[in-house]
Amino acid sequence: MRKLVEKEIVVATHNAGKVREINELLAPYGLIAKSAAEHGLPEPEENGTTFEENALTKAKAAMLATGLPALSDDSGLVVDALDGQPGVYTADWAEKEDGSGRDFSMAMQKVEDALLAKGATLPEQRTGRFVATLCLIWPDSHVEYFRGEAEGQLIWPPRGELGFGYDPVFLPNGHERTFGEMTSEEKHGWDGTPEDEGLSHRTRAFALFARQCLSK
């Protein structure tokens, strides 16, 4: 496992929510991290069938464009009753038909409608998880992956206006509030040390990354 000794990296995403969360997690490590959007980079086409493939696509494009180590995140919602959907197509479920952007209220309704079509009305029938895969690529094309998962259930109606994406319908196991009702600190659930795995999928992936590649 290679250590990240460089102090400047590019966070290979245009998703403002992800940029915010990743920068909050990076803050204790003294890294200078600008997003792909801040570098003026276009969004690469993601046509992979796994989180790892899509994460590599984004990280590699940012690394080649900037010459910097690049950290990307590909994440999604995996619902058991829907045979793992929306999975790698989580963001696609939010795409507006007119191509004008993403509407996650619509996406959450799609998930709910699909669950009802399956007859999944009881909590035990509505299990799922958020999955996040971080990909770190160096300018010499060395790659490392870090995967985190957060188990929970899908609730309806949505609760909370914090977070982003599908957070308002995801109730993590052992908690009474959705990710959408938690502050970012609560959602991270992390004390800032690599030994603590945290609560959210992204934090759990980041804790692995910190444990293996960073040192405070």
Residue 104 falls within a domain, yes or no? yes
Residue 2 falls within a domain, yes or no? no
Task: Tell me the mean pLDDT in the region 172-190.
Answer: 95
Task: Strand 8-11: give its sheet, edge to edge.
Answer: 32-35, 8-11, 70-79, 127-137, 143-154, 170-172
For 128, the domain range is: 8-213
Residue 1 falls within a domain, yes or no? no
Query: How much is the pTM?
Result: 0.90
Q: What percent of the chain is modeled with pLDDT above 70?
A: 99
Is residue 216 scored above 70 in pLDDT? no
Q: What is the CATH number of the domain that holds 38?
A: 3.90.950.10
Residue 34 falls within a domain, yes or no? yes
Angle at 135 between CA 74 and CA 18, to 5 degrees: 45
Active site residues: 74
Q: What's the pLDDT tens digit per position in 27-58? A: 888 888 899 999 999 999 989 999 999 999 99
Q: Give the closest residue to 79 by CA, choosing from 128, 44, 138, 115.
A: 128
Residue 3 falls within a domain, yes or no? no
Residue 184 falls within a domain, yes or no? yes
3-state secondary structure of 171: strand
Q: Give the number of domains in the chain.
A: 1
